[in-house]
Amino acid sequence: MTSQNPEVKLLGAWASPYVARARIALHLKEVQYEFLEEKFSAKSELLLKSNPVYKKIPVLIHDGKSVCESMIIVQYIDDVWASSGPALMPGDAYERAMHRFWTIYIDNKFIPSLFDMMTSPTEEAKVEAKEQTMASLQLLEEAFGKISKGKPFFGGDTIGYLDIALGSFLGWMKAFEEMNSPKLLDKSNTPLLCAWAENICNNEAVSAVLPETAKLVEFATVTQTRFKYAPPAK
């Protein structure tokens, strides 16, 4: 779906779920963009110039102007390409607040515990992170029930802001399950999220962007010193 349109560029990396958020939004809105892959070993001049505060991906560069922070980028894409594709944010102010609140929850609570579960230095810390992760998933399961109102996505009939916030991490969640983490989504504990995960992964904008589980597992294993991850004995 990428093209050499100089107007829209995205600085990113294939394995980053934060970058996936921006890409899913761009695909849903049918925006043609140039994907510039950053290397882990050295940050590009363009990245340092366009995100001097954080020096992190993703960065969206539109008409030469940079937009940073994944969910800020998603809102920007929704605003600028409002007439293309589905609205990513709900129309109602209270529903928007719910999408924003749960996205902050995902970023501040769920994601740190998800990664801590795999990378914490002690077994005790891993167990605590696992409990926090499973508890978070229960809360997200309940939230889905309330917010989706029986529809397939948090956004209703179409993928929305909160779907992107959480769905972007499904690649890593599946990879962790392969790497011996507990089953994160299962039909008995989180039936709604299981169905949601299937629906979202079947969506073309998402499947085009989410990396294959096997590639992520390989990536994690190869860069285990970077992640300080020691695979548990089987």
**Residue-level length of the chain:** 234
CB of 6 to another protein, least distance (A): 18
Q: Which residues bind another protein (CB under 8 A)?
A: 52-53, 62, 65, 67-69, 72-73, 75-76, 79-80, 93-94, 96-97, 100-101, 104-105, 139
For another protein, give the closer residue by CB, 80 or 217.
80
The least distance separating another protein from the CB of residue 214, rounded to whole angstroms, comes to: 34
| Residues 203, 152 contacting (CB under 8 angstroms) | no
Shorter beta-carbon distance to another protein: residue 64 or 150? 64
Q: How far is the CB of 33 from another protein (least distance, A)?
A: 16
Q: What is the rounded end-to-end Cα distance, in angstroms, of the chain?
A: 40
Question: Do residues 165 and 107 make contact, with C-beta atoms less than 8 angstroms apart?
Answer: yes
Shortest distance (Å) from residue 79 CB to another protein: 4
H runs (alpha helix) in the chain: 17-28, 45-50, 70-80, 93-105, 111-119, 123-148, 161-167, 170-178, 191-202, 204-207, 213-222, 224-227
Cβ proximity to another protein: between 96 and 126 the closer is 96
106 vs 220, beta carbon nearer another protein:
106
